[in-house]
Amino acid sequence: MLDTPTEDDAQNDAETRRYRALFISDIHLGTKACQAEAFLDFLRFHDAPRIYLVGDIVDFWRIRRGIYWPQAHNDVLQKLLRKVRKGTELVYIPGNHDEAMRDYCGSQFGGVAIERQTIHVGADGRRYLIMHGDEFDVVVRYAKWLAFLGDWSYTMALWFNMHLNVVRRWFGMPYWSLSAYLKHKVKRAVNYIGEFESALSQEARRNGAQGVICGHIHHAAMRQVGDVIYINTGDWVESCTAVAETEEGIFEIIRWNPHQGGMHTPKELVEELEAAA
């Protein structure tokens, strides 16, 4: 089937920022908290010949409790598959919420490569281990029922946050994330994030990599952990973040905020780390 350019493609092509690679995780399609429209808008203005989907793209945990699948969620999958048909290399690394797809690791479907983990070689030759990261979450790995309980409480926080922000928009106030605020303020959560970063960095060293790119904890970050560059892609539930590598080998966290200036006004806060320490 041939893809014909659309009016939307022509309008946005001149404004599209092109990268060497894009890294995206934790979209959680199939949940009401998923910001699918924001992600679609992000894809209109960002492109790369290689895209890594770093887990929790579809939330099968939530779908098992009841199907929620609006048109925008279908549009996300269609948009990604359309990129593949146009020549984009798409690598899909399932996470814990879409772990059923791990049965197909090592396979290719419709041009999409499914891997448990992989290595990305940066523009400067540095090796980056790409994995979702739930393997190093003790709760998910050893007590899955506790993970489901945590997922439920997190969903409730997001529900409250969504309604709170409706009221904030009525008063002209900016978007505010309750769950992100709690993650930063609760000491236990801060300790958990630090331990997670250390564990992933150690796994990168074990695999002979100089960096690690992961998702899972919904906390976008880019920092040096010892001799390893730790990068987390964040999520598309509340943060709306992705990671990109430029042709020069610079890694960026892109924070896409659809709540400021309208959905089609690209407003980015970019954090850069040149992989040349």
Q: Minimal CA–CA distance to 43: which of 6, 3, 13? A: 13
Average pLDDT taken over every residue of the chain: 83
pLDDT at 261 over 70: no
What digits encode the pLDDT tens for the residues 43-99? 999 999 999 999 999 999 889 889 999 999 999 999 999 999 999 999 999 999 999
At 118-165, the pLDDT tens digits run 999 999 999 999 999 998 876 444 445 445 555 666 666 667 777 776
Determine the pLDDT at residue 107. 96
User: 189: burial class by Cβ within 10 Å (0-12, 13-18, 19+)?
Assistant: middle
Instruction: List the structure tokens of 78.
Output: 């269609």
pLDDT value of residue 275: 45
pLDDT tens-digit series, residues 17-49: 999 999 999 999 999 999 999 999 999 999 999
Q: Residue 23 CB: number of other CB atoms within 10 A?
A: 29
Q: How many residues in total does the chain contain? A: 277
For residues 128 and 209, the answer to whether their CB atoms sit within 8 Å is yes
pLDDT of residue 193: 81
Q: For strand 211-214 and strand 127-130, is the pairing parallel, antiparallel, or unpaired?
A: parallel
pLDDT at 10: 47
Domain boundaries, given as residue ranges, for the chain: 9-274
262 or 103, higher pLDDT: 103
CATH architecture of 9-274: 4-Layer Sandwich (3.60)
Are 197 and 223 contacting, i.e. CB atoms less than 8 angstroms apart?
yes
Q: pTM here?
A: 0.78
User: Mean pLDDT, to the nearest integer, of 169-190?
Assistant: 62
The string of pLDDT tens digits covering residues 195-205 is: 889 899 999 99
Residue with tokens 């290399």: 89
CA–CA separation, 202 vs 131, rounded Å? Answer: 13
d(CA 244, CA 170): 34
